[in-house]
Structure 1
Amino acid sequence: MPWDHNKGPCLQLKTAKVTRVTNRRITIGYDDRHQAARMLEQHSALTHDIGHIVRTYYPMQWKSWKVMPDEVRTKVRAYLSMNYNFDDINDDMLAYINMLFVEWYK
């Protein structure tokens, strides 16, 4: 079981369980006014899952998220889309998700 060194079991296991139990990926509610997820719990889960993916699969091999090759960034997002539904993602939502990746990939 993956562990977050500070908080116990990795939250991505919780989102994977939600996906498995409901048989659907989690849809992120996006708040245009605040340019973030609508609910703090969703924002926290998404942020934690992004951190887990970056630490586990793509540790600091590049200077920043922005200089990471596009094909690698696509693969990283693919890990996230295993539990989150990005089928109807708009440009603002994509910018929000990229901002979260930029924050984690420092």
Structure 2
Amino acid sequence: MLKELQLVRMSASLIKIAYDERHRGAVSSQQHNSVVNCCGFIIRNFCPMRWGSWAKIPEETRTLVRDNLEVVFEMEDISPEVSAYLEDIIYLT
């Protein structure tokens, strides 16, 4: 997540998640890896081994994870597809 935070600081703007309808995911493997790494970092730091799956995590902790994603990624006005993509990544992390 450090690389993404540094990119945000240098560009002074959040990273927009570009979604590819055809492949139902990020437009590039580089962006997908970036999203997955950030989600994994946040989950390891805020949800360590307390719950067996994303479905069992309380809503306040889910909100905390989403809030931490907002530090790096543009989360306002995201499409339902991008939201579902993020939920899938977090669920699988």
In structure 2, the partner of 1:25 is: 14
**Quick one: which of 58, 75, 81 aligns to 2:64?**
75
How many Å separate the matches in 2 of 1:32 and 1:73?
A: 25
In structure 1, the partner of 2:23 is: 34
The structure that is strand-richer by fraction is 1
How many Å separate the matches in 2 of 1:68 and 1:57?
A: 11
Q: Which TM-score applies when normalising by structure 2?
A: 0.94
In structure 2, the partner of 1:55 is: 44
How many Å separate the matches in 2 of 1:58 and 1:69?
A: 10
| Runs of 4+ that moved beyond 6 A | none
Q: Percent identity?
A: 33
**Which segments of 5 or more consecutive residues in structure 2 lack a partner in the other structure?**
none
CA RMSD of aligned residues (A): 0.9
Which structure's relative contact order is higher, taking Cα pairs within 8 Å and 6+ residues apart?
2
Shift of 1:67: 1.7
In structure 2, the partner of 1:5 is: none
The structure that is helix-richer by fraction is 2
Q: Which TM-score applies when normalising by structure 1?
A: 0.83
Q: How many residues align?
A: 93
